[in-house]
Structure 1
């Protein structure tokens, strides 16, 4: 029997499950859908782009708008050259809508195991999902990691991870040490310094390579590429 586009196959192939509704997961799902493969995105939070929703308010992409979009949808020009965190979230929502992605929220996957030619996912609520393939796109920004510094238990001050930082208001008038001079650490330090902190110091283990974001309007990113 020949299956036509108007007739569902007698034994439809199981979908590809994409674990994670961030930029990577959405892009993979869109690419699969474009090839006619059913992809189901499983997101444990209540919306796509969960990690981006909880990043600090000042955050802007350090890559230009034109080079930061996902396949199949440009970031709107109205978002500016350096896209703000809130606009990244809006873009991810538009991306899922534009590509009509099948996103299931509130589902966390606890285990994946092979079963013959298929994969079995064990998820929230005792769900047992069977897929033809699994793409793990959980990223690395959702789980903070604090170093186990000697003497940390006896320290009486406040210690928090950048993941918990939103704005400088709680640190007004305080002496703050920011550990790490990557994009996040440097930007948070600048935010604190301009937001009322009494003193802001930056601790760096390895001397970083600091490059101007733009020179005479030319993005450093394009020179690197």
Structure 2
């Protein structure tokens, strides 16, 4: 029987694996992808992190390159692969988990297509980006209208036609809208409200230098300032004013009919394509343990569930603002690692 099975071989799972490897524990990291880092490789082509290299390290290995440069998504993927190799972490690739079941005497059975594992404890480090959310009324758009969720968007070539609506204006939505406008599309951005814009650099320093110095990445989800930042969902690094001079601003999309999206103000907008930057919903169909709420989201406190031996890691705002961020997830991993090594 293994001490721990970690479900998910992204940055959270690898950071925790580093602690367990150093302690000589018997464990496995199960990942559904063919290569470490593939979740990053599949994101859109031009994606760069907001955080400069100096803030992107996992425990034990600096992120390579110019400390002030912002890495591409492939740079991150390659770093994660190098990290797993460097520390000889036991990542089992092509191993999607099909079931996590508690055993009557304690511990868990974890099933994959090729193997079944027995473990005293399980850590779900599968991230927060599970099932792309697209409104049900999207089905009422005409077949000629191209629809792409932001998770499957790669570049403007996927979005033919002249008139495009990007639905959702978080950081992903505004970046995709900006890229499509630069590629010559007539872009409209549909959103009820756009969060406050923050520049990538301020007073000669990267904004994450300021976040680090001021301690804002360590804010808890229930602290007064943490609640305000979480609700505001700030836009980082995109000049929103300049963007709104290039694209149309639309009210919230509330429906669809034929080649039109229907807006909350009662108007309609004809479209050739829609990019749904509408986020994700939690999805743990394989987790046969009663630790999810009515929406399918995990019920936990700082990643600790009420079921003995079952934990989560790498969720947004799990403990702090940085809990799901590459360069900060190691702090949560260290705390959980200590708990696991104590046998809690």
TM-score if structure 1 supplies the norm length?
0.86
* Structure 1 residue 60, shift from structure 2 partner: 0.6
Report the RMSD for the aligned CA atoms in angstroms: 1.8
TM-score if structure 2 supplies the norm length?
0.57
For 2:74 and 2:42, the matched residues in 1 are separated by 10
For 2:190 and 2:133, the matched residues in 1 are separated by 17
Matched-pair contact (CA < 8 Å) for 1:56–1:166: yes
In structure 2, relative to structure 1, the CA distance for the partners of 1:164 and 1:79 (3 Å cut) is farther
Q: Which runs of 5+ in 1 are unaligned?
A: 1-12
Q: 2:62 maps to which residue? A: 74
Q: Alignment partner of 1:124: what SS?
A: coil
In structure 2, relative to structure 1, the CA distance for the partners of 1:180 and 1:167 (3 Å cut) is same
Task: Map 1:47-62 to 2 at 5 A.
Answer: 47-62=35-50
Q: 1:104 maps to which residue? A: 92
For 1:92 and 1:122, the matched residues in 2 are separated by 25
Q: 2:230 maps to which residue? A: none
Q: 1:7 maps to which residue? A: none
Task: Map 1:1-225 to 2 at 5 A.
Answer: 14-78=2-66, 81-115=69-103, 116-125=105-114, 127-149=115-137, 152-156=138-142, 157-171=145-159, 173-197=161-185, 199-224=186-211, 225=215
* Structure 1 residue 214, shift from structure 2 partner: 0.6
Matched-pair contact (CA < 8 Å) for 2:2–2:117: no
For 1:118 and 1:172, the matched residues in 2 are separated by 51
Q: Alignment partner of 1:132: what SS?
A: strand
Q: Alignment partner of 1:31: what SS?
A: helix
Matched-pair contact (CA < 8 Å) for 1:79–1:87: no
Which structure exhibits the higher relative contact order, with contacts defined as CA atoms closer than 8 Å and separated by 6 or more residues?
A: 2
Q: Deviations over 1:188-211 (max 9, x none)?
A: 1111111232x1121122231110
- How many residues are aligned here? 209
